[in-house]
Structure 1
Amino acid sequence: MKEPMTTDQLLQGLKHYRRIARQDMLRAPETPHPEAFLQHAESRREVYVALGSYAEQHAPEDVIAHALELYRQLPFVTGTPEHEHPDIKGRENALENFFLLVGLDPKSRREARSHRPKLNAPGTAAQG
């Protein structure tokens, strides 16, 4: 991981990502699958808001650990059509963007990814 981020840097980065998600929400009607695109953008924005709220109460390394746990809980939807499971794909995309923001080493992300459940596996909710 690169130099640890301060809480202010973390919050500023999440704010930037929230703005991008908001812009995507506004342009959803122009896309081939407007409802899916909107839901994807909304899901990303929700993750950024939740991580920002968490960051206001916890140290940056705790926010990263929390984000990794959220990532581990997401079911795999890789390989499904682009417009299916936009909620899950949006959350996955948001968390992966967050990992880029904080400079999480790829090995840590791969490790968390390897623990993710299959879609509709016991104990996972079918969302999206």
Structure 2
Amino acid sequence: MKELLTTEQILQGLKHYRRIARQDMLRASETPHPDAFLTHAEQRRAVYTELGTLAETAAPDEVITHAITLYKALPFVTGTPEHEHPDIKGRENALENFFLMVGLDPKVRREARSARSKLGSPAATE
């Protein structure tokens, strides 16, 4: 990772992402799978809110560490139809957006991704 963003920069970025998720929630009914699209947007917004709340009291590196932990805990659902598992895919998308925003080293993200278990495997259902 390059230099860490400040708390204020993280909060501003998360606020921007929350706004985009909110706009997506409002336009969900216009999509081919409105319920899935809405759930995806709601989950993204929830992740941004959770990270923003943490960022108000924790150091930037702690927020990043927490986001990596959340990411590792997600079951792997890549390759499933677009409208399936919108809750997981929304959280995954939000965390990946956050990693891009903070400039997380791609190697760290790949390592966290490889630590995830497939949906339905014992580690994913714990």
How far apart are the structure 2 equivalents of 1:80 and 1:86? 10
How far apart are the structure 1 equivalents of 2:124 and 2:73? 8
Shift in Å at residue 4 of structure 1?
1.2
Residues 42-81 of structure 1: CA distance to partner in whole angstroms, max 9, x if unpaired? 0000000000011111100010011001000000000000
Aligned residue for 2:61?
A: 61
How far apart are the structure 1 equivalents of 2:115 and 2:4? 25
Shift in Å at residue 120 of structure 1?
1.2
How far apart are the structure 2 equivalents of 1:35 and 1:59? 36
Aligned residue for 1:102?
A: 102
Aligned residue for 2:22?
A: 22
How far apart are the structure 1 equivalents of 2:125 and 2:33? 23
Aligned residues: 126
Residues 7-48 of structure 1: CA distance to partner in whole angstroms, max 9, x if unpaired? 011000000000000000000000000000000000000000
Aligned residue for 2:113?
A: 113
Percent identical: 75
Contiguous gaps of at least 5 residues in structure 2:
none
Partner amino acid for 1:11?
L
Q: Secondary structure at the match of 1:69?
A: helix
TM-score using structure 1 length: 0.95
Aligned residue for 2:79?
A: 79
Shift >3 Å, 4+ stretches: none
Partner amino acid for 2:32?
P
